[in-house]
A and B are shown apart, each in its own frame.
Chain A
């Protein structure tokens, strides 16, 4: 069986490429593409990374509970401020987006419902937007 390595060995071969492709991490976030699935991927990746960061933050903040009611309750008072509530809505958008698209990826990736991947994205996307709006309203009025 002919081996590809005999092609690539070269021996001073002038056709040896001048540089390898390198890592194009920017392509993870390039939406100038043609597939809805790409939107889902970008959303999941951005939201996922953001959520990991938030998770660490959240766990760190919880340590305030060990300092007693004064520390914790004043922190609670702080985050009632509309600026923080707005950040909560952003967080929720990330959670809903990542969660629903993740469900879609789980269904596709086991081979179930592959044919409906675009429909799922649109359907779950719409559901997500509704959930987000309802939650945002609840956050600001409660």
Chain B
């Protein structure tokens, strides 16, 4: 493979760095909310329903889901790009991780809506 494939690599890296720093906060909040608020450190079914009643919580959790899905997929893509694939293979890697990331977000949002409607 010829050295120096085109296209800008800086945006991907920057996105990864920014989402990573965001996650330090969002994941921290997520851990505290789920393990340091409830007696016993784990939320039961009812605890979960009570938890997602608050709209701010919903916003934060969805933000967390989107950010972590992006960071995970961008990371996976970065590892795969380190393998020096062909330009076509790289395009497929990008398409696949994007699709997977979208699927994760859609699934998470659907799950949240399903639970909110039960609460």
Tell whether A87 is near chain B: CB-to-CB under 8 Å.
no
Tell whether A49 is near chain B: CB-to-CB under 8 Å.
yes
In the assembled complex, the CB of A132 is this many whole angstroms from the nearest CB of chain B, namely: 13
A69 CA to B17 CA in the complex, in Å? 39
Tell whether B24 is near chain A: CB-to-CB under 8 Å.
yes
Tell whether B83 is near chain A: CB-to-CB under 8 Å.
yes
The answer on a CB contact under 8 Å between B76 and A52 is yes
Q: DSSP majority for the B interface?
A: helix
Chain B interface size range: 20 to 34
Q: DSSP majority for the A interface?
A: helix
The answer on a CB contact under 8 Å between A106 and B46 is no
Tell whether A103 is near chain B: CB-to-CB under 8 Å.
yes
Interface residues of A (CB under 8 A from B): 23, 25, 28, 45, 48-49, 51-52, 55-56, 59, 62-63, 65-66, 68-69, 72-73, 76, 79-80, 95, 99, 102-103, 105-106, 109-110, 138-139, 142
